[in-house]
Amino acid sequence: MWTYVEIDTCARPLPFYLAAEEWVASRLERLTCGGPAFFMWQVAPTVIVGRNQLMDSEVDMDYCRRAGIAVWRRKSGGGAVYADLDNVMMSYVARNAPGSDVPTTFSRYTAAVAAMLRSLGIAEAEAGGRNDVLIGTNKVSGNAFYHTSRCSVVHGTMLVAADVATMARALTPPPGKLRSKGVASVPARVTTLRRHLPGLTVGEFIAHARRTLCGGRVARLTAADVAEIGEIMQEYLRPEFLTGRNPRATAARHARVEGVGEFDIAVEMNHGVIADVRLAGDFFVLGDIDAEIVGRLRGRPLEPEALALALTGVDVSRVIHGLTTPRLIALLTAADI
């Protein structure tokens, strides 16, 4: 059974709740005696982009400014999502088990959430894809993942209802990403709980999820705890974190690697060698891309043999989940993948 962490559910900007995940991860033993922690929260209309995404290619920033939609960046990979008060955000924090990996962590969490939905009366709910919970063939919950030093954090959405028109205007994913899933637009890919359980309220869903997943196990925060979370939140507010790092590029491309994700690749060359590399997209990051990959590529010619030599001894899949060294080299050199 998980422990429910009681946090203000609908009163703060999104970065507070992302900071709360980090705070819970650093104090998991005290809060839960080492077991998993779980909490739910809501935000006013907000777009959340993944750690490695190019914001301007995923989000209609002009529309969001006009509509009063906040845009924030999270530390996990994955794609951009839209949330509002008809959407429940869910956070799950668990200690890293020996030998655990991303698929295992995701599957444990999404299987539990799907079972919770079935107990609510939605018989078709099941875990699907690499990080989704589906009702039939449509997504009702999408999730992303990142590591801290001792814990794994999974967070995501649950569409009780949805403002599909606003979602479609705010999110502007590359068309190839949607084609790869066999659909033509953002709204066509999602469903809501209310389509299957008319009349279900957000409060009823939250109560059922909490009761089913956590029983009566509760951890309550003090004012001092909330103040500490507020200090962590400041990192998410820094302009350089929000905008990301976008170096000038002399070569750029977009590609999709099946089972890994979307990539926007920008390579800056200087006198025939690599000066910098930007890897953005909705893939899942397990390590430090700059230190473990980009740092090795700087100063090398943009040639397959030179890149393979630079990456000797690097297990790329332990930095970007599911990506191999040959596929990375193909991405950088614009070869077929």
For 68-113, the pLDDT digits (tens) are 999 999 999 888 999 999 999 999 999 987 666 777 888 889 999 9
Q: State residue 85's pLDDT score.
A: 95
- Closest of 173, 111, 110 to residue 142, by C-alpha: 110
CATH topology match: 3-243 vs 251-333: no
Report residue 247: phi and psi, to 5°.
-70, 155
Q: State residue 275's pLDDT score.
A: 92
- Annotated domain spans of the chain: 3-243, 251-333
Annotate 124-183 with three-state secondary structure. CEEEECCCEEEECCEEEEEEEEEECCCEEEEEEEEECCCCHHHHHHHECCCHHHHHHCCC
DSSP annotation string for 75-119: SS-S--EEE-TTEEEEEEEEEPPTT--HHHHHHHHHHHHHHHHHH
Report, as ranges of residue numbers, the positions in the chain whose pLDDT lies below 50.
Answer: 337
Q: State residue 304's pLDDT score.
A: 94
CATH T-level assignment (fold) for domain 3-243? BirA Bifunctional Protein; domain 2 (3.30.930)
Neighbour count for residue 193 (Cβ, 10 Å): 26
Q: State residue 246's pLDDT score.
A: 58
Q: State residue 175's pLDDT score.
A: 73
Going by the DSSP 8-state scheme, the letter that residue 317 receives in this structure is G
Report residue 233: phi and psi, to 5°.
-60, -30
The residue whose two tokens read 């969001």 is 64
| Dist. CA 39–CA 19, nearest whole Å | 13
Indicate yes or no: pTM above 0.85. Answer: no
Distances (CA, A) of 284 to 2, 297, 311, 336: 25, 20, 19, 22
Contacts of 30 (CB under 8 A, 6+ apart): none
> Considering only the top CATH level, what class is 251-333?
alpha beta
Beta strands in 26-86 (DSSP E): 37-41, 46-49, 70-73, 81-83
Which secondary-structure segment (H or E) carries 228? helix 223-237
Q: State residue 307's pLDDT score.
A: 96
